[in-house]
């Protein structure tokens, strides 16, 4: 029997902030060294980037989740890399903790920006229940994005406080005072990211391919600097955080071919990138109006990720 979701959320509220802050500090230090690794061959540089930091951070976070609260071991765990004591967690169950040790690895590895993050979320087969994203170099001290229930927070880290105290003191984001951005992040369309971003702009929004997006999409979406995303076959380690943010803000995340809300009943293993993905193209937006534009635009686009 799976543990009660609220009990797991409470454990993550207590334990995950420290783990992500410590892991972010390790990642920031490792970034000063040549730590690139081989291992992925999808043909997309944003997907194939892999570093020693990915493996080190995952080892640390998985061990911390294993050791800090016994209830966390009663959940399934899905992690983008294959290392760490993943066997300490349940093989089956209603609750899944998913981990992306370094989201934005290409930018991290190539030192082309500071929008990388350490992140995890808790989900069921139908919904995302808790999300925590730490961007170690977003601003002078790093930044947090956190979501659970009706709570959505985003702001700078305060190193004079514990990570948990910093998040507790951070005010909630109110939809009424948040900017109404029409910027949309695109990724996963292989060589067509930029061309498809132009189509989004022509449809009345503002499309941004990965290399033109000024940071991690999660704080950008939470704070209203971006209004959504359009992703081909998103992976299940980082993208689901967008679902929770969008739904808290009054929007949603849906498959463009049928407009139905995203769920996690069906996934596929992308052997080229060594990661689990959702099928097809997914649109996410903070309002129904933007979501409709994205769905109408991309409904007939090719749902197959690779052409060969």
Confidence at 36, pLDDT banded by 50, 70, 90: low
Residue 117 has pLDDT above 50, yes or no: yes
Q: Angle formed by the axes of helices 288-298 and 193-202, to 10°?
A: 120
Domain span(s) for CATH 3.30.540.10 in the chain: 5-173
Residue 217 has pLDDT above 80, yes or no: yes
CATH, range 176-298? 3.40.190.80
- C-beta neighbour count of 260 within 10 angstroms: 10
Confidence at 42, pLDDT banded by 50, 70, 90: very low
Confidence at 104, pLDDT banded by 50, 70, 90: confident
* Rounded CA separation 306/308 (Å): 6
pLDDT tens-place string over residues 219-262:
999 999 999 999 999 999 999 999 999 999 999 999 999 999 99
Residue 188 has pLDDT above 90, yes or no: yes
Domain span(s) for CATH 3.40.190.80 in the chain: 176-298
Looking at residue 85, its pLDDT comes to 93
Q: What mean pLDDT is predicted for residues 59-70? A: 96
Structure tokens at 175: 């939809």
* Rounded CA separation 199/76 (Å): 39
Average pLDDT score, the chain = 92
Confidence at 105, pLDDT banded by 50, 70, 90: confident
Rounded to two decimals, what is the model's pTM? 0.93
Structure tokens at 97: 């903790």
Looking at residue 30, its pLDDT comes to 85
CATH 3.30.540.10 for domain 5-173, yes or no, is yes
Confidence at 55, pLDDT banded by 50, 70, 90: confident
236 closest CA partner among 270, 285, 261: 270
Q: Is residue 103 marked as binding?
A: yes
Residue 90 has pLDDT above 80, yes or no: yes
pLDDT tens-place string over residues 71-84:
999 999 999 888 88
Q: Is residue 110 marked as binding?
A: no
């Amino acid at each position: 029997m799976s543990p009660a979701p609220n009990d797991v959320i409470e454990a993550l509220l207590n334990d995950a902030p420290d783990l992500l802050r410590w892991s972010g500090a390790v990642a920031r230090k490792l970034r000063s060294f040549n730590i690139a690794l081989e291992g992925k061959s999808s043909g997309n540089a944003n997907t194939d980037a892999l570093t020693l930091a990915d493996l080190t951070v995952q080892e640390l976070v998985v061990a911390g989740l294993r050791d800090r609260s016994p209830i966390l071991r009663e959940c399934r765990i899905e992690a983008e890399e294959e290392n760490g004591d993943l066997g300490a967690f349940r093989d089956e169950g209603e609750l899944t903790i998913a981990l992306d040790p370094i989201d934005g690895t290409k930018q991290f590895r190539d030192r082309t920006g500071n929008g990388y993050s350490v992140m995890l979320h808790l989900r069921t087969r139908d919904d995302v229940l808790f999300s925590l994203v730490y961007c170690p170099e977003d601003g002078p001290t790093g930044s947090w994005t956190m979501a659970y229930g009706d709570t959505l927070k985003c702001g700078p880290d305060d190193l004079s406080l514990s990570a948990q105290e910093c998040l507790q003191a951070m005010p909630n984001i109110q939809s009424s005072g948040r900017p109404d951005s029409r910027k949309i992040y695109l990724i996963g369309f292989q060589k067509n990211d930029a061309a498809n971003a132009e189509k989004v702009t022509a449809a009345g929004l503002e499309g941004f391919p990965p290399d033109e997006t000024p940071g991690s999409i999660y704080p950008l979406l939470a704070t209203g600097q971006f209004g959504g995303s359009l992703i081909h076959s998103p992976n299940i380690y980082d993208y689901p955080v967008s679902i929770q943010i969008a739904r808290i803000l009054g929007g949603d995340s849906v498959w463009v071919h049928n407009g139905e809300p995203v769920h996690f009943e069906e996934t596929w293993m992308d052997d080229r990138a060594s990661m689990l993905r959702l099928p097809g193209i997914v649109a996410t937006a903070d309002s129904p109006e933007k979501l409709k534009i994205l769905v109408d635009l991309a409904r007939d686009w090719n749902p197959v990720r690779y052409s060969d």
